[in-house]
Amino acid sequence: MNNDLSMFSLIAEASLVVQLVMLLLLLVSIASWTIIIQKWRILKEEREEAALFEGRFWSGIDLVDLYRQLESQETERNGLSAIFEAGFGEFARLRKQGGVEPMAVVEGAQRSMRVALSREIDKLEENLSFLATVGSTSPYVGLFGTVWGIMNSFRALGGTQQATLGMVAPGIAEALIATAMGLFAAIPAVVAYNRYANEVERLINHYETFLEEFSTLLQRQAHA
């Protein structure tokens, strides 16, 4: 057994199963960090967009003008602007039809906003389950690699007359790398999941509050 305890040597000398476990954990860690960075950017943009839109919405601007401004934009609407556009668009369409009860108009707008809200929730929660899975399973995958590596080390010692620490140490060290990689993949994923789940919940509550407030305004307009 090789007595070189450098990291590269330990990985290179590990058994095929342990190497596959390390490779899997490395790929999972890369994917996890990619999602963490992307989710941070998306949530930051969603918070900024919500603050900007609410400033425009509560500034006293005419809702028709605000709706036309949103329609004229070439960029995709997200968050509050998407909910507003869906609700006010349906509200205006039902009012144009004529003969529709005011409450039916408001309920139609609310249904459209609920659909838009569901889409926004799906976008906000996208890939969070992956982070949760990585955080909960990576330590066990790493532990599997460690157990397999240590088992092979002791099995190799079975045919020797005298076992020494120098003979056991490299095998145990290479096996423990798998556990370390499992923790390296799991810890950031758990931290990111807890933080992002909290931010997503706060954004969803913000969207739902706006939906109810906007529904009240539409109800007043429908009865005006």
Cα torsion through 159, 161, 163, 166, rounded to 10: -90
1 within a domain of the structure (yes/no): no
Distance between CA atoms of residues 98 and 71, nearest Å:
23
Q: Which of 43-52, 88-97, 162-171, 174-183 has the lowest mean pLDDT?
A: 162-171
Collapsing DSSP to helix, strand or coil, 160 comes out as coil
If phi over 0 gives left and psi between -120 and 50 gives alpha, with beta otherwise, what is residue 117? alpha
Domain total of the chain: 1
Mean pLDDT of the chain: 86
Residue bearing the bigger pLDDT, 37 or 156: 37
Assess contact for 149 and 19: CB atoms under 8 A: no
14 within a domain of the structure (yes/no): yes
Distance between CA atoms of residues 53 and 48, nearest Å:
9
pLDDT of residue 177: 85
Q: Which residues contact 92 (CB under 8 A, 6 or more apart)?
A: 64, 67
35 within a domain of the structure (yes/no): yes
Q: For residue 195, which amino acid is it?
A: R
Q: 185-219 pLDDT, tens per residue?
A: 999 999 999 999 999 999 999 999 999 999 998 88
User: Domain range spanning residue 204?
Assistant: 7-223
2 within a domain of the structure (yes/no): no
Q: What is the mean pLDDT of residues 162-174?
A: 65
26 within a domain of the structure (yes/no): yes
Q: Which of 62-71, 83-92, 150-159 has the lowest mean pLDDT?
A: 150-159
Residue bearing the bigger pLDDT, 4 or 117: 117
29 within a domain of the structure (yes/no): yes
Please check the confidence at residue 53 and state whether its pLDDT lies above 50. Answer: yes
Q: 71-129 pLDDT, tens per residue?
A: 887 777 888 999 999 999 999 888 888 777 888 888 999 999 999 999 999 999 999 99
191 within a domain of the structure (yes/no): yes
Distance between CA atoms of residues 120 and 203, nearest Å:
10
Using the structure block, give the residue that is written with the tokens 């569901």.
Answer: 118
pLDDT of residue 193: 96
94 within a domain of the structure (yes/no): yes
